[in-house]
Structure 1
Amino acid sequence: MNMEDYICETNNSKNIQSLFNLFEKYMSDIGFDRVILGLMTDHPRLKKEAEHGFLKNYPADWVERYFDQKYVHIDPVRHKAYDAIGAYTWDELKASMQLSNKQIQMFNEAEDARLFNGVGVSMRGPGGAIAAVGAACSVKNGNLNKDILDAANLMSVQFYTCYWRLMEKKVTLVHLTAKEQEILTWSAAGYTKSQIAHKLCISVHTVDFHVRNCLAKLEAQNITHAVSRALNLSLIHM
């Protein structure tokens, strides 16, 4: 694993997915083939709310179990991120804390899902923002030394730095025309396309044209998703 190559390649990433793919690849090179990113606090400069595990390659059944059991509320790895900076291991937390039965169950089930040698990396962004990376190995081994933790910490910080830069650029670049803003605002108020067309004295076909542009600009799957993203980015207001 060449850290210089990693930094160079991630700095040149064009989008979030390609950045995450590089992070996956290089973390796997040091033994962590399972990684996940969570925003522990709101990131207002990026127009992003706190969200756990939105970029990840953890096993889908484990992620579903984690949320179904509401482990997000009692997970000591997650809670540690609020007062730590840098890398820490799951084993350190298990040894230093008096775990509840549910926390013990969570760690046991994580191992059942083949998540071994787990680590957390807590990071700080501008304006007091907090994010954290979780990483684990799908094969159990005892090779988790300081050099590996230092490398995981450095790669996670670089990943978060590049993520921040790409997201900030993305927020800045999104621009809606006045007509697109009008249509999304009326959509947010519950108006149908035909009602919006009548309001704006244009055809439904023209409304559809503007909606398609909104979906493309906001990378949205449908009009509801576009409205949500536009509100989140403060491109429209209710």
Structure 2
Amino acid sequence: MDPIAFALKIEVATRIEDVWRLLVAAVKQIGIFRIGYHHLPPPGAPDAGLLRVENAGFGEALMEQYLSARARGIAALAALLQNTVRPIYLDEMASLDALSPREALHLGRYRIQGIKNGLGLQVFGPNGRNGVLAIDIARTVRLSPEVLEALRWVCQAMHLRYCELLIPALGKMPSLSSREAEILGWVARGKSNATIAEILGISAHTVDAHLRRIYLKLGVYDRMSAALRGLGFGLIPADILSQ
């Protein structure tokens, strides 16, 4: 499995399903025949409420178990992956004292269904559009460092190309003026209209007028929803968020 060759192949793929198919073919070269991918749009994104899951080899029962656990907040591996940057092996999860009884039971059910040596890893995309992958390692408890790094790179490349093809299909993104984006950035940081007015050297009435236009453009009715949608659409200047 050559990450560079894989990246060149998916670069010319024009359909999401082809990008996924190429990843499945690539990981088969190192003996991985079961892999799943959960695409996680950020809060406020136009597809934030949609379920987008790709699956090769896990079967319906395992997928239903994962989705049910996710809905009930007990998908421990997925939850932990979203708070780390390194891959996690299933046996590492079993040794965690922080697992609740329900989470431990959920992981145990994977083993009952034949997932003995699982691996989870996270991939990262634009504006917090991330994803998690679950991989069944059938023959060994640990991948070699070289194979693991190659696997991480091809999964990351797949996710970025997946995002690149998906985002334009979500429809035309709203457009904010530079002033509106600036104000929305300060809203996302929890600043009041009066404080924003003081920061920008304008009146609170002007800030309120800008916010009304922002709500209209984003299709929302309150500050929190506007901030979430602005973050999900990537409309807020990064320099404001970092201040």
Residue identity opposite 1:162 in structure 2: R
State the match for 1:112 in structure 2: 112
Q: Tell me by how many angstroms 1:99 deviates.
A: 2.7
CA contact 1:122–1:132 (8 Å) conserved in 2: yes
State the match for 1:61 in structure 2: 61
State the match for 2:241 in structure 1: none
What is the alpha-carbon distance in structure 1 between the residues aligned to residue 61 and residue 19 of structure 2? 24
State the match for 1:20 in structure 2: 20
SS in 2 for 1:103: helix
SS in 2 for 1:116: coil
SS in 1 for 2:121: strand
CA contact 2:42–2:128 (8 Å) conserved in 1: no
Of all paired residues, the percent bearing the same amino acid is 14
State the match for 1:141 in structure 2: 140
State the match for 1:212 in structure 2: none
What is the alpha-carbon distance in structure 2 between the residues aligned to residue 98 and residue 40 of structure 1? 24
Q: Tell me by how many angstroms 1:167 deviates.
A: 0.9
Residue identity opposite 2:5 in structure 1: D
State the match for 1:82 in structure 2: 82
Flag structure 1 segments of 5+ consecutive residues without an equivalent.
Answer: 174-238
State the Cα deviation string for residues 66-90 of structure 1 (Å, max 9, x = none).
3446675112211112211242222
What is the alpha-carbon distance in structure 1 between the residues aligned to residue 74 and residue 28 of structure 2? 27
User: Is residue 93 of structure 2 the alignment partner of residue 93 of structure 1?
Assistant: yes
What is the alpha-carbon distance in structure 1 between the residues aligned to residue 149 and residue 19 of structure 2? 20
Q: Tell me by how many angstroms 1:136 deviates.
A: 1.3
State the Cα deviation string for residues 159-216 of structure 1 (Å, max 9, x = none).
101001111233358xxxxxxxxxxxxxxxxxxxxxxxxxxxxxxxxxxxxxxxxxxx
State the match for 2:184 in structure 1: none
What is the alpha-carbon distance in structure 2 between the residues aligned to residue 72 and residue 162 of structure 1? 30
State the match for 1:36 in structure 2: 36
Residue identity opposite 2:124 in structure 1: R
What is the alpha-carbon distance in structure 2 between the residues aligned to residue 52 and residue 107 of structure 1? 22
What is the alpha-carbon distance in structure 2 between the residues aligned to residue 150 and residue 144 of structure 1? 9
User: Is residue 54 of structure 2 the alignment partner of residue 49 of structure 1?
Assistant: no
* Change in CA separation of 1:80 and 1:41 when aligned onto 2, cut-off 3 Å: farther
TM-score (norm 1): 0.62
State the match for 1:195 in structure 2: none
**Greater RCO (Cα-Cα under 8 Å, separation 6 or more):** 2
State the match for 2:164 in structure 1: 165
What is the alpha-carbon distance in structure 1 between the residues aligned to residue 6 and residue 157 of structure 2? 9
State the match for 1:150 in structure 2: 149
Q: How does 1:177-192 map to 2 (within 5 A)?
A: none
What is the alpha-carbon distance in structure 2 between the residues aligned to residue 12 and residue 43 of structure 1? 30
What is the alpha-carbon distance in structure 2 between the residues aligned to residue 149 and residue 12 of structure 1? 25
* Change in CA separation of 1:159 and 1:28 when aligned onto 2, cut-off 3 Å: same
Q: Tell me by how many angstroms 1:63 deviates.
A: 1.6
* Change in CA separation of 1:105 and 1:150 when aligned onto 2, cut-off 3 Å: same
What is the alpha-carbon distance in structure 2 between the residues aligned to residue 88 and residue 121 of structure 1? 6
What is the alpha-carbon distance in structure 2 between the residues aligned to residue 118 and residue 144 of structure 1? 11
Question: Which 4+ stretches in 1 moved above 4 angstroms?
Answer: 50-53, 68-72
What is the alpha-carbon distance in structure 2 between the residues aligned to residue 153 and residue 50 of structure 1? 27
